[in-house]
Amino acid sequence: MTLRQNVQFCSAFPNDADYDLDVQPGRNIAEALKAALSRRGYRVSEPINGGDHGWELDVWRGRKRLWLQISVLAADECYLMTENMTFWLWPDMDLFRSFLRDLQSVLAEDNKFCVTGWFSNGASVSATELADAPFTPEAAPGSRRG
């Protein structure tokens, strides 16, 4: 399975930056994601100012933590990065895949988001073909893919 845990998107949210106070844009996006993920049963922190990186959210399902960061470069160039913060020796990949599916649905259901595509950690967005989904199942052994 190919896992793409980051997403490039466009945003119709207003620019809420206050550069005089060193506040990057994207808090309103973080608030919208917090509300949507909370409705899906996640416990979500208040938006955390990540300085020049944008805004962060800590997300929990039970005692297991996930993390996301929202970086707004321009209305038509925004990035959402995620990390599986569950136990590093045996990360809960089922939870992480479920979270990415929920995040994909949240972004698709809100017309203020227009997803450009999903990409993997370490990939250069300009050099990578962006995917329509956070993961693509591999073909089962012995089967043929289209």
* Amino acid in the structure at residue 20: D
Q: Is 90 inside any structural domain?
A: yes
Total domain count, the chain: 1
pLDDT reported for residue 93: 93
Beta bridge partners of 59: 44, 66
Q: Is 86 inside any structural domain?
A: yes
Q: Is 52 inside any structural domain?
A: yes
What CATH number corresponds to the domain at position 18?
A: 3.30.310
Q: Is 116 inside any structural domain?
A: yes
Q: Is 146 inside any structural domain?
A: no
- Let me know: does 68 contact 49? Beta carbons within 8 Å: no
pLDDT digits (tens, 9 = 90+) for 63-104: 999 999 999 998 889 999 999 999 777 889 999 999 999 999
* Cα atoms found within 13 Å of the Cα of residue 103, Cβ hemisphere only: 34
**Residue 117: Cβ within 10 Å count:** 16
Pairing of strands 2-3, 55-61: unpaired
DSSP state of 77: E
The tokens for 142 are 């012995």
pLDDT reported for residue 143: 41
Distance CA(53)–CA(42), nearest Å, equals 23
pLDDT digits (tens, 9 = 90+) for 97-134: 999 999 999 999 999 999 999 999 877 776 567 899 99
Closest C-alpha among 143, 144, 118, 124 to residue 2? 118
Q: Is 143 inside any structural domain?
A: no
pLDDT at 145 over 50: no
The range of the structural domain enclosing residue 38 comes to 2-136
At 119 the three-state DSSP class reads strand
